[in-house]
Amino acid sequence: MSLDAATRSSIYLKLAAVIGDDDANALMSEFPASDADELVTRDHLRAELALTRGDLRHELHTEIGALRHELHTELGALRHAFASLTVTVSASAHAAL
């Protein structure tokens, strides 16, 4: 939990009177001034990165699967078109003889 500015100032002034300005500054720097200053532990970061990697792997696997299906369909259509063309050329060659 973060401290508001008035509370931080009050604590700092009381500490500075007892332990001095430098030590009071050092001690106050350990308390976040806002929630955005909250530190992240390595374990938490590792866990978040693992989730992100898992999400990316799943998305990549899905996209690659869709691409493979699309390529398979397109290559099948090309094979069929090539086979039809081969038959047409072959028939034309026979007709010319």
Tell me the pLDDT tens digit for each residue of 15-38: 999 999 999 999 988 877 766 656
- The tally of CA atoms less than 13 A away on the side-chain side of residue 27 is 15
Query: What band does 64 get if pLDDT is binned at 50, 70 and 90?
Result: very high
Instruction: Give me the helix-helix angle, 5-19 and 21-28, nearest 10°.
Output: 140
As a whole-number percent, the residues of the chain with pLDDT over 90 amount to 61
15 with 8: CB under 8 angstroms?
no
Looking at residue 56, its amino acid is L
User: pLDDT averaged over the chain?
Assistant: 88
Alpha helices in the chain (DSSP H): 5-19, 21-28, 42-96
Which of 39, 43, 14 lies closest to 27, judged by CA? 14
pLDDT at 79 over 90: yes
pLDDT given at position 33: 72
How confident is the model at residue 5, as a pLDDT?
83
- Encoded tokens for 22: 């430098």
